[in-house]
Amino acid sequence: MLYFSKLRILFVTIFSLLFILIASSNLFKFDDSFFDKKINLGLDLQGGSYLLLEIDNEPVIEQKLQNLTTIIRNYFKEKNIKVNNIKIDNQIIFFNVADLDKQAVIDVFQDENSDLNPYYPRFKSHQLDIEDTGINLKVSFSRQGVINLKTSSQDQAIEIVRRRVDEVGTNEPNILKRGNDRILVELPGLDDPQRIKSLLGKTANLTFRFVTNDESDRFGVDKLKFEDGLEEATVSKRIIISGENLLDAQPKMDTQTNQTIVSFTLDRVGAKRFGKATSTGIGKQLAIVLDGKIISAPVVRDTIASGSGQISGGFTFQTATDLALLLRSGALPAPLEIIEERTVGPDLGQDSINAGMIALAIGFLLVIIFMFLKYKVFGLITNVTLIINLFLLLGILTLFEATLTLPGIAGIILTVGMAVDANVLIFERIKEELKGESNNILAFDGGYTKSRTAIIDANITTLLAAIILFFMGSGPVKGFAVTLGVGIFTTLFSVYFIARLFTSLYVIRNKNKEKLI
Amino acid sequence: MIAFNKYYNQFNILSMLLITASLLLLIFKGLNYGIDFKGGTLIELRSSDSKINVSSLRDKFNQMDLGDVSVKKFGNDTDFLIKFENKDNKKNIIEEIKKNLDSSFGSNYDFRRVENVGPKVSAELLKAGVIAISLSLAVMLIYIWIRFEWQFSLGAILALFHDVIVTLGIFSLFSLEINLSIIAAVLTIVGYSMNDTVVIFDRVRENLRKYSDIKIFELTNISINETLSRTIITSATTLLALLAIFFFGGEILKGFSLAMILGVVFGTYSSIYIANTVLVRLRVSQKTVLREDDNKTV
C-alpha cells in the first residue's frame, strides 16, 4: 500500500496541477477555450428571475371538442348516418345514432386507418376513445390523445414564449420544458420580471370583428367589455382577420393626432379579407378584440386594400411597444399561468456570494487549525490534501460548467468538514496498528488496508443521499447535491492518491522513528 | 476506556422520551412550513429609511388585504422578511404592493428577493420532499441490509429515524421554518448518521470475529472506544464547518446549518446509544456474524 511507482507520482502530480489550473480559470482570463470555462452562478448568486409557467389546456380541449362535434356530424352525414342529440358535457361528447348504425360508427372510430380518429401505432392507442353506454355513444380523448394534445400545445407555447422573451432582450435566458404542460423560464440578471411576467400572462389572441346590434347575427354574438372595463359592445362571432394574418406590427406615432398607435401589415389572405370587409362595411364599427376585450372599435370610413392599418386605443409608448411585441410573436395556444416565481436582486446575490466565501474561508481555516493541532505532521499532510481536494472539486465543477448555488457553497464547506473523515479513519487505525506492530511500514500498510471498508461504506451512504437529493431536489438544492456528490469523489481521490503519497514518502523516510503519529 | 455501556438503559429511556415528545409535537403542534410547502409569497425588503420598521410595514401590509401577513426582521436592522398567503393567487400582487409602499415610503426601499409559490407547486414540493426523505431511508435500509446482518440494519435504521424525528421535533418546538433547504439538510443528516453508525458497526463486526468470549454488552463498548477518537474528530471538523456556515454564511443558510448541526450532534449520539444498544438487546453474538459468513461462502 505504501509503494508508489514513479509513473503514478507523475500522474497524480499532473492531474492535480491540471485541476488547479482549471479551477483558477475562474479567476483569470485564458485565451485557450479549454481553460476558458467558468462555474455558472445560480440565480440565487448572480441575481435573476425564475418563472415556472403552466399551460391551461382546458380551453384547448374544449375548443377541439367543439370542432369535433361539427366534424362528426358532417362525417357521418356523408355516410348517410344521422347523428342526433350531440352535446359536450364535462369534456365528453355524447350523441345518438340509430341502433342499426351503432356498430358502423364504432367501427369507424376503432379503425386503425380511420381519418376521423388518428391512430398512434407507437402507443397502440387512438386519439379518441368511444364507448357505447346503451343510451348513447360517448366519445372522449384517450389518455394518449390528451398527452399528444398537451405536448403539441407545449411545443407551440414554448416557441411563443421564447420569441417574447427574446424580443425583450434579456441576457441569455433559459427556457425549458417541464413535464408536458409546463415551461420553465430562467432570466439571469433580471431583478424586476414585471414586464416579462405581464407579457407572458397574455394569450395575445387578436381578432377583428364587426360590432353588431343584431342579436340574431347568423354567426352568433359575444357581449364584450372594452379594455377600460366600463363600456360594453355586442360583437359578431364572425372573425374578419386574426393575429395569424399579421406579418408585422410596430409601435408608431400618429403625426396627425399625436397619439401612439400600433401599425400592422397583413399577409395576402388577410389583406384580401380586410379589403373586402372594409369595402362592404363602410360606416360600421370594426372592433379590435384582444383576449376577449375590445381595444378599440373605430368606424370604417374607407376601403383598406393596402393590407396595412393601425390600432389606436389610448396607448402610452410602452403599452404600444408591448402590444406590437405580442402581436409580432403570435398568440399562445392556451393561457399561461405563473405558478412559481423566485426573483433575487443582484445585490442580494453578491451578498450571498460574499457570505458564502467568508464562511468557506473560516470553516476551512478552523478545520485546518484543528487538524494541525491534533495530528501535527499528518495534520499538515491532511491539510495540503484538503487544499488540493478543494481545487479538484472546483476544477470539476468548472470543467462541467456546473451551476453553483448558495446551498452549493454550503455543500463545499461541508465537504471540507467531512473530507478529513477518511484521513482520520486511516490515521486512527495506524495508531492502533502501531500498538502491536513495531514495524512502521507494516503498521501504515495495515492502517490503510483495514480502514478501507469503513471509508467506502461511509462515503457510499453520503453519496446515496446526494444522488437522491439530486433527482428529487429543485433549483438551489440541486446545487448542494452536486457539490456534495462531486466532493465525495474528489475526497476519495485526494485521500488515496495524494495523502497516501505524502504519507508514504514521510513514513519511508522515518521508518525507524518511534512515536510516528 | 469510557464505560459507555453503563448508561445504555438510561439513554435508551431518554431517547424514547425524546422520540415520543417529538412525535407528539409533530402531531399536535405540527411543523412551521415555509412558502415552499405552504404556498404564498415572500418578500425580502431592504430599507434605507428609519421610518420603515416592523410595525410600519405590518400596518401597511395589513391594509392591503393579503390574508395572514407576517413581518419579521431579517438579519440586520434594515432587512425585513414579509410573508403572506396570497390566497387568491393574485397575478400582479407584487406590482400592487410596490405602488402601495411607494405612496408612503417613496423609493427608500428595495425588494431584494421575491418568491411566489402557487398552491399546486407547494403541494408537489412537499410531496417530493416526503418522497425524498422516505426514499433515502429506504435506500439506506437496503444498503445496510446488503452490507450487514439484519440486527445491524435494524439498529442503524432506528438510529436514523431517531435523528430525523428528533431534529424535526426541535424544529416544531421552536417553530423554525421548514423549507426546501431543510429537506436537503435532513437528507444529509441521514447520510451522516448512517456514516457514523457504519464506522462503529464495522468495528463491532470485526471484533465479533476476533473475540468469541466477550459478550456483546462489553464488545460494543470496546468498539465504541476504539473508534471514539475518530467519531469525535470527524464530528468536530464537521461541526466547525457547519458553525462557520451558521455564523458567517448569511441569513438564508441559517435554518439549513442549524438543522445540520442538530443532526450531527444527534447522529453522533445515536450511533453510540441507539445503534449499539439494539445489538445488545438482540443478543448479537459471534454466531450471528459467522453464520452470515458461512452463507456468503456458500
Q: Over the stretch A157-166, which tens digit does the pLDDT of each residue have?
A: 999 999 999 9
Angle between helices A406-436 and B228-248 (to 10 degrees): 160
Q: List, for residues A111-148, the tens digit of each pLDDT value.
A: 888 888 889 888 889 999 998 888 889 999 999 999 99
Asked if A457 has any chain B CB less than 8 Å from its own CB, the reply is yes
Answer whether residue A155 shows pLDDT above 50: yes
C-beta of residue A483 within 8 angstroms of C-beta of residue A39: no
Alpha-carbon dihedral angle through residues B285, B288, B293, B298, given to the nearest 10 degrees:
150
Cα(A483)–Cα(A40) distance, integer angstroms? 13
Tell me, yes or no, whether A75 and A23 share the same domain.
no
Confidence tier at A32 by pLDDT (50, 70, 90): low
Asked if A347 has any chain B CB less than 8 Å from its own CB, the reply is yes
Distance from CA of A3 to the nearest CA of B (A): 26
pLDDT of res. B293? 66
C-beta of residue A309 within 8 angstroms of C-beta of residue A243: no
Tell me, yes or no, whether A139 and A84 share the same domain.
yes
- Which of A453, A458, A484 is the closest to B195 by Cβ? A458
Q: The C-alpha cell of A178 is what?
A: 417541464
Confidence tier at A31 by pLDDT (50, 70, 90): low
Choosing from A122, A145, A168, the residue where a domain stops is A145
Q: Considering chain A, what percentage of its residues have pLDDT values greater than 70? A: 97
User: How many CB atoms are closer than 10 A to CB A285?
Assistant: 18
Continuous H helices in A90-142? 99-110
| Burial track B176-206 (b if 16+ CB lie within 10 A, e otherwise) | bbbbbbbbbbbbbbbbbbbbbbbbbbbbbbb
Residue A161 lies in a domain: no
CA proximity to A421, closest of A330, A494, A502, A514: A494
Q: Which of residues 23-52 of B touch A (CB under 8 A)?
A: 44
**Full domain range(s) for residue A118:** 58-145
Q: CB neighbours of A406 closer than 8 A, spacing ≥ 6? A: A42, A44, A45, A352, A356, A476, A479, B250, B252, B253
Q: Which of A53, A414, A431 to mutate to test the interface with B (most CBs of B within 10 A)?
A: A414
Residue A191 lies in a domain: no
Answer whether residue A291 shows pLDDT above 80: yes
Tell me, yes or no, whether A298 and A398 share the same domain.
no
Distance from CA of B24 to the nearest CA of A (A): 27
pLDDT of res. A1? 53
Q: CB neighbours of B35 closer than 8 A, spacing ≥ 6? A: B41, B42, B83, B115, B116, B117, B122, B179
Q: Once rounded to an integer, what is the mean pLDDT over residues A38-55?
A: 92
Asked if A417 has any chain B CB less than 8 Å from its own CB, the reply is yes
Choosing from A110, A126, A145, the residue where a domain stops is A145
Provide DSSP, A451-492. HHHHHHHHHHHHHHHHHHHHHH--THHHHHHHHHHHHHHHHH
Cα(A455)–Cα(B267) distance, integer angstroms? 17
Choosing from A145, A175, A194, the residue where a domain stops is A145
Cα(B280)–Cα(B216) distance, integer angstroms? 6
- Residue ranges of domains in chain B, CATH in brackets: 4-34+121-297 (1.20.1640.10), 40-116 (3.30.70.3400)
Residue A321 lies in a domain: no
CA proximity to A377, closest of A510, A260, A288, A491: A510
Dihedral pair phi/psi, residue B47, rounded to 5°: -110, 155
Cα distances from B20 to residues A307, A337, B13, B157, B261, in angstroms, run 77, 43, 10, 17, 21
CA atoms lying within 13 Å on the CB side of residue A110 = 9
Tell me, yes or no, whether A306 and A358 share the same domain.
no
| Burial track B267-281 (b if 16+ CB lie within 10 A, e otherwise) | bbbbbbbbbbbbbbe
Q: What is the CATH number of the domain that holds A293?
A: 3.30.1360.200
pLDDT of res. A343? 93
Q: The C-alpha cell of A388 is what?
A: 488540493
Task: Say if residue A122 is exposed, middle or buried (CB neighbours under 10 Å; 0-12, 13-18, 19+).
Answer: exposed
A189: left (phi over 0), alpha (psi -120 to 50) or beta: left
Q: List, for residues A224-258, the tens digit of each pLDDT value.
A: 888 877 888 888 888 889 888 899 999 998 888 88
- For cell 409569497, the residue is B41
pLDDT of res. B298? 47
Cα(B282)–Cα(B156) distance, integer angstroms? 13
C-beta of residue A236 within 8 angstroms of C-beta of residue A207: no
In the chain, the amino acid numbered A458 is: A
Provide DSSP, B163-184. HHHHHHHHHHHTTPEE-HHHHH
Pairing of strands A40-41, A403-404: parallel
Cα(A289)–Cα(A205) distance, integer angstroms? 8
Chain A residues whose beta carbon lies within 8 Å of the beta carbon of residue B143: 460-461, 464
DSSP 3-state assignment of A190?
A: coil
Tell me, yes or no, whether A101 and A247 share the same domain.
no
Cα distances from A491 to residues A118, A263, A391, A465, B122, in angstroms, run 56, 63, 11, 16, 36
Q: CB neighbours of B143 closer than 8 A, spacing ≥ 6? A: A460, A461, A464, B194
- For cell 432570466, the residue is A187
Q: The C-alpha cell of B38 is what?
A: 405552504
Q: Which of residues 120-159 of B touch A (CB under 8 A)?
A: 120-121, 125, 128-129, 131-132, 135-136, 139-140, 143, 147
Answer whether residue A516 shows pLDDT above 80: no
Tell me, yes or no, whether A22 and A140 share the same domain.
no
Tell me, yes or no, whether A228 and A287 share the same domain.
yes
User: How many CB atoms are closer than 10 A to CB B175?
Assistant: 11
Measured between CA atoms, the residue of chain B closest to residue A354 is: B249
Answer whether residue A191 shows pLDDT above 80: no
- Which of A356, A425, A461 is the closest to B191 by Cβ? A461
Tell me, yes or no, whether A302 and A434 share the same domain.
no
ipTM of the shown complex: 0.90
Cα(B103)–Cα(B60) distance, integer angstroms? 10
Beta-carbon pairs below 8 A across chains A and B: 212
| Burial track B16-55 (b if 16+ CB lie within 10 A, e otherwise) | eebbebbeebbeeeebebbbbbbbbbbbbbbbeeeebeee
Distance from CA of A157 to the nearest CA of B (A): 20
- For cell 390600432, the residue is A311
Residue A93 lies in a domain: yes
Chain A residues whose beta carbon lies within 8 Å of the beta carbon of residue B230: 421, 424-425, 428
Tell me, yes or no, whether A259 and A395 share the same domain.
no
Task: Give A474's DSSP letter.
Answer: -
Cα(A35)–Cα(A361) distance, integer angstroms? 25
CA A124 to chain centre: 30
Answer whether residue A439 shows pLDDT above 50: yes
Measured between CA atoms, the residue of chain A closest to residue B201 is: A454
Tell me, yes or no, whether A62 and A83 share the same domain.
yes
Q: What is the CATH number of the domain that holds A420?
A: 1.20.1640.10
pLDDT of res. A378? 92
- Which of B95, B184, B237 is the closest to A420 by Cβ? B237
Residue A327 lies in a domain: no
Asked if B107 has any chain A CB less than 8 Å from its own CB, the reply is no
Q: Which residues in chain B land under pLDDT 50?
A: 298
User: To which H or E segment does residue A176 belong?
Assistant: strand A174-178
Cα(B161)–Cα(B167) distance, integer angstroms? 10
Tell me, yes or no, whether A42 and A73 share the same domain.
no
Distance from CA of A344 to the nearest CA of B (A): 4
CA A157 to chain centre: 13
Q: The C-alpha cell of A472 is what?
A: 428529487
Residue A306 lies in a domain: yes
- Number of folded domains that form chain A: 3
- Which of A424, A466, A468 is the closest to B233 by Cβ? A424
CA proximity to B236, closest of B244, B247, B225, B226: B244
Tell me, yes or no, whether A41 and A62 share the same domain.
no
Residue A157 lies in a domain: no
Q: List, for residues A250-262, the tens digit of each pLDDT value.
A: 999 888 888 899 9
Which of A352-356, A503-507, A509-513 bottoms out in mean pLDDT, i.e. has the lowest?
A: A509-513
Of B280 and A4, more confident: B280
Cα distances from B28 to residues B21, B25, B68, in angstroms, run 10, 5, 21
Q: The C-alpha cell of B166 is what?
A: 428528533
Answer whether residue A2 shows pLDDT above 70: no
